[in-house]
């Protein structure tokens, strides 16, 4: 069954599937793989178009080959994608993977903007994600209980560790073992290499701070050793445009083909889920209401178990738009927590410095990965200004022709100047943890709808004093690392905090917990109020940690599928 073309393998509406998965991105792909490999006939509903790695990937197109030299048609972008263009993954080619903001509106308070990045196609945002994958630890899973914030996670590291192993072995993670207790090591493929200056900076940090602060190569879902049907990365660079060699992990590169190979997958693109219908006598979902994105025709599909994997805020939107008698404020929302506790990571702070020497060295290739410095605040001692912490991403590079983009000049002398490399610089960019706050929430807009008549959301969020204190300290922590490495001309980042949502790590709108009065999901990602509903995307997160969260979504999904299949066998669903 191909992953391209129009709607494929579509069964008559009378067919009852064993499972329905809503969304085909990171978690939807994992749910599809795990369900089909365990013998379940599974329907995957994707709101957007089909995508093929062979047909749609254009990572080898140089800027001079693009119509707008890589900058894009700014007038068209301003008119149709004013929010999506704010993503770091947005460029002239990758813009095709982001939604049309006019067709998919939402509102925010005038003084509280929120960047809601969305991708509607087979594979979702897994085609354009940053591919950084870091495990959470009990420093994270115990944080809410320890600090008296939000609700306690219903799991601990020992509960999810085998599932981290499970997804990493299939996915492929490049990284270096470091034996850091609060950043557990993954099942690693060979690490990508630090460049010569990054190694110098790593050594300087180690000499000053020992094992209290560690610079390591990023942990990325990119192959450095081949797997069946997937080649090792060849360092071409612009991963946000797709990957025809399937070297980086995505749904269309890995999990959906695995699900397809079972013969039990039905993939239906252009299927926009409007709502979930519940049987009032059983309190279970009896059908999924779908609008065909091309024709506007309405369909209903049924299954014994539903996995909601539409992304954190979209999943909340579906639940809120599924209000019915007895659930007037939304499905699975007796706790009034659906749509609340939106979290992201705060960024736009750090520092850059110049590293002397190494002028006989240059970077070869375009490594699709950077460095990582795990959290070091509030580990062995308590910071007086904030709880939780932040990590750093970044790297070392030499400035090239880009530094002269707007410089005057013409002719042979100017061309020679463009060939000359500048000094080495080292940059640290911070990503800080966000606390779960009930007032950071999404609600159904009373009048605004999308192109298909489905009610849109109003999103209201703001950084807490804790996040702002973290943001201020990122500049301090980054400067300390650069000083340890002997950097000169250290320039702290002075930009305002990022708009919430801009880190593209939105989560928390249907959190897991131990009590149905204060949470939406139990320890298995199963809705307290609706036993045959599982929510396994970022909505389930009870806290955010400071590391990229997607690996945790994947592990939670595989774990939830295992539980759901066992429950089906016991006829509990």
Question: Which position has the higher pLDDT, 7 or 541?
Answer: 541
Number of domains in the chain: 2
Confidence band of 404 (pLDDT split at 50, 70, 90): low
Region 165-184: mean pLDDT is 98
- 315: phi > 0 → left, psi -120 to 50 → alpha, else beta; which? alpha
Are 222 and 360 members of one domain?
A: yes
pLDDT, position 450: 98
Give the DSSP letter string of 205-268.
HHHHHGGGS--EE--BSB-SS-BTTBPPP-----GGG--TT--B--IIIIIHHHHHHTT-EEEE
Let me know if residue 165 belongs to a domain.
no
Q: Alpha-carbon distance 432 to 375, whole Å?
A: 9
Res 73 pLDDT > 90: no
pLDDT, position 10: 40
Are 291 and 209 members of one domain?
A: no
Q: Alpha-carbon distance 452 to 346, whole Å?
A: 33
Q: What is the pLDDT of residues 413-458, one digit of tens each?
A: 777 777 778 899 999 999 999 999 999 999 999 999 999 999 999 9
Are 31 and 104 members of one domain?
A: yes
Q: Alpha-carbon distance 24 to 235, whole Å?
A: 26
Residue owning tokens 């110098």: 200
Which contacts (CB < 8 Å, 24+ apart) does range 54-58 have? 54/244, 55/4, 56/96, 56/242, 57/241, 57/242, 57/243, 57/244, 58/93, 58/241, 58/242
Are 177 and 290 members of one domain?
A: no
Confidence band of 8 (pLDDT split at 50, 70, 90): very low
CATH code, domain carrying 546: 3.50.50.60
pLDDT, position 15: 65
Residues contacting residue 44 through CB under 8 Å, at least 6 positions apart: 20, 21, 23, 24, 28, 32, 256, 259, 265, 266, 267, 268
Are 384 and 352 members of one domain?
A: yes
The candidate with the shortest Cα–Cα distance to 101, out of 503, 473, 505, 448, is 448
Are 512 and 561 members of one domain?
A: yes
- 161: phi > 0 → left, psi -120 to 50 → alpha, else beta; which? alpha
For residue 554, the 8-state DSSP code is H
pLDDT, position 402: 66
Q: What domain range includes position 382? A: 173-248+346-432+463-499
Region 184-206: mean pLDDT is 98
| Residue that is last in its domain, among 499, 524, 545 | 499
Region 29-55: mean pLDDT is 95
Lowest mean pLDDT among 59-68, 178-187, 533-542: 59-68
Are 413 and 538 members of one domain?
A: no
Question: Which position has the higher pLDDT, 4 or 48?
Answer: 48
Average pLDDT over all residues of the chain: 93
Let me know if residue 139 belongs to a domain.
no
pLDDT, position 403: 66
As a three-state string, the secondary structure of 359-412 is CCCCCCCCCCCCEEECCCCCCCCCCCCCCCCEEEEEEEEECCHHHHCCCCCCCH
Let me know if residue 511 belongs to a domain.
yes
Q: What is the CA radius of gyration of the chain?
A: 23
Backbone angles phi, psi at 480, to 5 degrees: -60, -40
Q: What is the pLDDT of residues 224-274, one digit of tens each?
A: 999 999 999 999 988 888 898 999 999 999 999 999 999 999 999 999 999
pLDDT, position 411: 85
CA quadruple 389, 239, 185, 436: dihedral, nearest 10: 30
Q: What is the pLDDT of residues 340-393, one digit of tens each?
A: 999 999 999 999 999 999 999 998 889 999 999 999 999 989 999 999 999 999
Tokens representing 8 are 């494929």
CB 145 within 8 A of CB 152: yes
pLDDT, position 365: 86
């Amino acid at each position: 069954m191909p992953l391209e073309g129009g709607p494929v393998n579509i069964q008559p509406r009378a067919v009852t599937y064993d499972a329905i998965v809503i969304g085909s991105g990171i978690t939807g792909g994992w749910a599809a793989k795990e369900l089909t490999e365990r013998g379940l006939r599974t329907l995957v509903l994707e709101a957007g178009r089909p995508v093929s790695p062979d047909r749609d990937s254009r990572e080898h197109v140089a800027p001079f080959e693009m119509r707008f030299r890589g900058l894009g048609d700014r007038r068209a972008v301003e008119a149709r994608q004013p929010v999506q263009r704010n993503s770091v993954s947005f460029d002239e080619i990758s813009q095709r993977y982001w939604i049309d903001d006019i067709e998919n509106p939402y509102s925010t308070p005038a003084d509280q903007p929120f960047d809601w990045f969305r991708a509607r196609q087979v594979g979702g945002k897994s085609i354009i994600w940053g591919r950084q994958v870091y495990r959470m630890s009990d420093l994270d899973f115990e944080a809410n209980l320890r600090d008296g914030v939000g609700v306690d996670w219903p799991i601990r590291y020992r509960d999810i560790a085998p599932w981290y192993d499970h997804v990493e072995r299939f996915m492929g993670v490049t990284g270096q073992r470091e034996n850091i207790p609060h950043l557990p090591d993954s099942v690693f493929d060979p690490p990508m290499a630090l460049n010569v200056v990054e190694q110098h900076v790593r050594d300087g940090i180690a000499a000053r701070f020992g094992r209290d602060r560690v610079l390591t190569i990023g942990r990325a879902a990119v192959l450095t050793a081949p797997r069946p049907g997937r080649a090792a990365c060849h360092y071409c660079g612009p991963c946000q445009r797709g990957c025809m060699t399937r070297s980086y992990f995505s749904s269309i590169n890995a999990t959906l083909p695995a699900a397809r190979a079972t013969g039990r997958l039905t993939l239906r693109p252009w299927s926009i889920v409007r709502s979930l219908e519940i049987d009032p006598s059983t309190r279970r979902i009896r059908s999924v209401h779908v609008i065909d994105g091309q024709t506007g025709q309405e369909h209903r599909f049924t299954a014994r178990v539903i996995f909601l994997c539409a992304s954190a805020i979209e999943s909340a939107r579906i639940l809120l738009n599924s209000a019915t008698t007895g659930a007037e404020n939304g499905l699975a929302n007796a706790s009034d927590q659906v749509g609340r506790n939106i979290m992201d990571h705060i960024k736009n702070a750090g520092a850059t410095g110049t590293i002397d020497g190494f002028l006989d060295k240059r970077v070869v290739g375009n490594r699709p990965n950077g460095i990582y410095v795990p959290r070091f605040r509030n580990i062995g001692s308590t910071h007086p200004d904030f709880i939780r912490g932040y990590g750093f991403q970044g790297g070392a590079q030499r400035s090239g022709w880009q530094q002269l983009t707007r410089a005057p000049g013409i002719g042979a002398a100017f061309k020679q100047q463009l060939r000359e490399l500048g000094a080495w610089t080292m940059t640290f960019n911070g990503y800080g943890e966000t606390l779960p706050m009930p007032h950071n929430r999404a609600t159904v807009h009373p009048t605004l709808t999308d192109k298909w008549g489905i009610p849109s959301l109003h999103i209201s969020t703001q950084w807490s004093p804790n996040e702002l204190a973290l943001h201020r300290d990122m500049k301090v922590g980054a400067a300390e690392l650069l000083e340890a490495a002997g950097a000169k001309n250290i320039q702290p980042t002075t930009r305002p905090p990022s708009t919430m949502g801009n880190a593209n790590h939105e989560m928390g709108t249907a959190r897991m917990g131990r009590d149905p009065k204060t949470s939406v999901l139990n320890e298995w990602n199963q809705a307290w109020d609706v036993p045959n509903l599982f929510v396994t995307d970022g909505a389930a997160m009870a806290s955010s940690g400071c590391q990229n969260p997607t690996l945790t979504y994947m592990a939670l999904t595989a774990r939830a599928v295992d539980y759901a299949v066992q429950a089906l066998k016991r006829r509990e669903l």
